Structure 1
Amino acid sequence: MSYGVAVALQAAIYQVLVSDPAVTGLVGVNVFDELPGGTIPSTYVAIGTEVTLDRSDKTGTGAEHRLEIAVVSDVAGFATCKAVGVAISDALHQADLSLSRGHLVDLRFDRAVASREEAGTLRRLDLRFVARVDDGI
């Protein structure tokens, strides 16, 4: 197994999200891998948890990254979260990610879970994507 592509994959996904006009039209610059200090934006995107599995075989080293991207909003109803989720899904669908290490074999949407948090004052949409990468080492 190689975990070597993890940083490159996250950086490429982040770059796609902050460069996509539909995503930035909805959340501006509020795409994070760690929330900033101070006032939290009303709606934001957070690159979240990840589970990585070995997918190496006799042809080379590889991994499957199960990535979660969260959309969090204090706007009433789920429409805002879902609109941002659609923009993220569209931006990453068949994205040709340029990685600084290794290469992307496949990136696909897996599932989404919508929930309420903090006594119902926040809406959250967790999107999971599965990326298959080849480290090439």
Structure 2
Amino acid sequence: MSYVISASLQSAVFTAISNDAAVTGLVGSAIFDALPAGTLPALYVSLGPETVLDASDMDGDGALHKFDISVVTTDQGFQSAKEVGAAICDVLVDADLPLARGTLVSLGFDRAVALREENGTVRRINLTFRARVEA
């Protein structure tokens, strides 16, 4: 297998979270594939790194995508970021997302890491999801 379904998967994930009322109720349109220039909102979502492993088998070509979605805030605590993270999980876990190329077999939660950055002024939660796709 190759990396051929990656862009299609990313687009489907971005569309799903951008069109979800609960997520947009918390962050508005502050959902980014690439961070914009200038001042960032106090709370936003950013698509992050991805690792792809071959998952082909006797039945055909496939891949396992592990990708991060980050929730970042300058709020004093993690509460707002955790609420956004929960809303994103509600959208993605076990979702049946249509792909422009390939087929999504499964989509699940892998892990989350909550961090303080920039001398404690920024909170970040990196949510890692795993998606199994077939060509």
How many residues are paired up?
135
- Percent sequence identity is 53
Q: SS in structure 2 opposite 1:112? A: strand
In the TM superposition, residue 100 of structure 1 has moved relative to its aligned partner by: 0.1
Q: Supply the distance in 2 between the matched residues of 1:47 and 1:5 (Cα, whole angstroms).
A: 16
Paired residues for 1:101-116 under 5 Å? 101-116=101-116
Tell me the C-alpha RMSD between the 2 structures. 0.6
Residue 96 in 1 paired to residue 112 in 2?
Answer: no
Query: 1:39: how far off?
Result: 1.4
Moved over 3 A (4+): none
- Residue 17 of structure 1: aligned partner: 17
Q: For structure 2, which runs of at least 5 residues remain unmatched after alignment? A: none
Residue identity in the other structure for 2:14: Y
The equivalent of 2:26 in structure 1 is 26
User: Matched residues in 1 for 2:71 and 2:26: separation?
Assistant: 11
Letter matched to residue 2 of structure 2: S
**TM norm structure 1:** 0.97
Q: Deviations over 1:11-58 (max 9, x none)?
A: 000000000000000000011111001111111000000000000112
In structure 1, give the amino acid aligned to 2:94. Q
TM-score relative to the length of structure 2:
0.98
Q: Which residue of 1 aligns with 2:39?
A: 39
